Amino acid sequence: MSDDSSKLQQLQDGREHINMVFIGHVDAGKSTISGRILIDSGKIDKRTVEKYEKEAKEKNRESWYLSYVTDLTEDERSKGKTQECSVASFETPSKRVTLLDAPGHAAYVPAMLTGAAQADIACLVISARKGEFEAGFEAGGQTTEHIILARTVGITKIVVLVNKMDEQTVKWSKERYDNIVTKLSPQFKEYGYSSKDIVFFPASGYTGAGILKRVPKADCPWYDGPSFFEILDKLPPIPRQTDAPVRFSVSAKQKDLGIFSVLGKLQSGVLKVGDELISVPNLRKCTVTSIEIDSIYETDKAQAGENLTLKLKGIDEDDIAQGYVLAPADKPGYRSEMIEAQLMITGVTDAFPVLTTGASLVMHIHTATVECQLQVILQELSKKGKVLATQPKFLREGSIGIVRIKLKDVTALEKIEEFPGLARFTLRDRGKTLAIGKVLRLKPQ
């Protein structure tokens, strides 16, 4: 049996497919861990690893070689900062995992959002090194913002990997680990996660301790829990909207040897070769001529939850873009430039110490990015949903409100009770997340 045939058979062997995004503050070790996972699970051959080790040594960055597995550009490797969301895959006994290594730097949050929008679960990487956890957790750090963004795109499970436990300022300290868990736990609760949604564990991405195999007792006698692979393998199945109409959110497009295709996530339904679809919001008809899973393995059909590459005919490259949604021609879904939404104000800036009518912001919803304006604040609500005020003048940090928002462009989106993955959004300004929201109602075009 050929290698490709063997891998295709694996895709059809009944293992659940999950999409997992690595998030966290810059320099927490996300790319290093991604590289360690792929090497230890046999996805990267020895010769390639040796090549990465040599390249890193020539740059006087010997410890960076693991990150070279997913940081592919010269700029990323020379600066040690992930700028784009890279994709790879690996397996556990019961799961087939698509790994998305997202940027941690504040400048690349839009790229992080695109990756997170394709994910089902997140691995939040925390550096235990002295000063690094604090830099990510305190004002200006990305840890809290990434928790907020994960919640926004509908990620309901987060595995918290407390990394660099082997580092000299930590030395597998239980006190340091407990302190991190204690400080982070209230953050998850504040943004709607329950304790059963979160799993903490200690590890070292560089040495591999706690990743494929459990942490050695000699290093960490106080931890008796599972390894990262064991945690993933035992996660409960993720609910999928397989009975709903097809909704495919486009994250990118490409043209190779004259053949046009789009990449993205099948949010709902079952998609088959030959299906006739329509692009939203511009309503161009097309036909699916090929379906590839993880951009590698061709199949006749795919179901909700898969990351796919679709080859299309009947539509021009200029007629589709990131943020568009493909749907059945007879059930095209919604497109709108006016919505009513529930907002939670998560942060403030000098420009926006409070959120008021007329505020111009940038909305990120599934894989779409669109400028928008807050037109009316209809209500302010308590955390239990009680109306506190009608048409208040502003919403402050921590407030929850019902608002009306005007989008600059007609956009593909859905209502929260019908397609949650296409209804959650963030509002940002000048590189900072100000609010998270969900579409309640919309004015269809």
Tokens of 125: 């990487």
- Confidence band for 75, pLDDT divided at 50, 70 and 90: very low
What would the DSSP string read from start to end of 306-333? -EEEEEEESS-GGG--TT-EEEETTS--
CA proximity to 209, closest of 172, 168, 245, 259: 172
- Residue 320 CA, chain-centre distance (Å), reads 22
Q: HSE, CB side, 13 Å, CA atoms: give it for residue 183.
A: 16
Tokens 């591999």 map to which residue? 208
- Burial (CB < 10 A; 0-12, 13-18, 19+), residue 405, is buried
For the entire predicted model, the pTM comes to 0.81
- Burial (CB < 10 A; 0-12, 13-18, 19+), residue 74, is exposed
Instruction: Measure Cα distances from 403 to 67, 358, 374, 428 in Å.
Output: 43, 11, 7, 16
Please tell me whether the peptide bond between 281 and the residue prior to it is cis, using omega within 30 degrees of 0.
Answer: yes
| pLDDT, greater one: 402 or 62 | 402
User: What residues does 341 pair with on adjacent strands?
Assistant: 403, 439
How far apart CA 103 and CA 205 sit, in angstroms, is 17
Q: With a cut of 80, say whether residue 241 has pLDDT above it.
A: yes
Asked if 312 and 258 touch (Cβ cutoff 8 Å), the reply is no
Q: HSE, CB side, 13 Å, CA atoms: give it for residue 130.
A: 7
CA proximity to 165, closest of 25, 28, 23: 28
Q: HSE, CB side, 13 Å, CA atoms: give it for residue 59.
A: 19
How far apart CA 137 and CA 341 sit, in angstroms, is 29
- Confidence band for 65, pLDDT divided at 50, 70 and 90: low
**Amino acid identity, residue 170?**
V
- Confidence band for 7, pLDDT divided at 50, 70 and 90: very low
Tokens of 6: 């063997």
What would the DSSP string read from start to end of 361-374? EEEEETTEEEEEEE
Residue 293 has a pLDDT of 85
Q: SS3 for 136?
A: helix
How far apart CA 121 and CA 81 sit, in angstroms, is 22
Q: With a cut of 90, say whether residue 118 has pLDDT above it.
A: no
Q: With a cut of 70, say whether residue 289 has pLDDT above it.
A: yes
Instruction: Measure Cα distances from 343 to 312, 403, 425, 437 in Å.
Output: 37, 7, 9, 4
Residue 44 has a pLDDT of 76
- Burial (CB < 10 A; 0-12, 13-18, 19+), residue 190, is middle
Report the pLDDT averaged over residues 194-223.
94
Q: With a cut of 50, say whether residue 230 has pLDDT above it.
A: yes
How far apart CA 216 and CA 231 sit, in angstroms, is 16
Report the pLDDT averaged over residues 3-32.
70
| pLDDT, greater one: 151 or 204 | 204
Q: With a cut of 60, say whether residue 376 has pLDDT above it.
A: yes
Residue 146 has a pLDDT of 82
What would the DSSP string read from start to end of 35-93? HHHHHHTT-S-HHHHHHHHHHHHHTT-GGGGGGGGT--SHHHHHHT---S-EEEEEE-S
Instruction: Measure Cα distances from 211 to 135, 149, 245, 300, 340 in Å.
Output: 24, 25, 38, 34, 44
Residue 12 has a pLDDT of 52
How far apart CA 129 and CA 134 sit, in angstroms, is 9
Q: What is the mean pLDDT of the chain?
A: 85
Q: Which domains does the chain have, with CATH numbers?
A: 11-233 (3.40.50.300), 247-328 (2.40.30.10), 334-444 (2.40.30.10)
Q: With a cut of 70, say whether residue 188 has pLDDT above it.
A: yes
How far apart CA 223 and CA 216 sit, in angstroms, is 9
How far apart CA 339 and CA 250 sit, in angstroms, is 21
How far apart CA 33 and CA 28 sit, in angstroms, is 10
Strands 394-395 and 400-413: unpaired
Q: With a cut of 80, say whether residue 106 has pLDDT above it.
A: no
Return the percent helix, strand and coil in the chain, to nearest 5.
25, 40, 40
How far apart CA 371 and CA 410 sit, in angstroms, is 11
- Determine which of 122-126, 188-192, 243-247, 284-288 has the lowest per-residue pLDDT on average: 188-192
Q: With a cut of 70, say whether residue 160 has pLDDT above it.
A: yes
CA proximity to 11, closest of 83, 91, 81: 91
**Amino acid identity, residue 354?**
V
Virtual CA dihedral for 392, 396, 398, 402, nearest 10 degrees?
Answer: 30
| % pLDDT > 90, the chain | 53
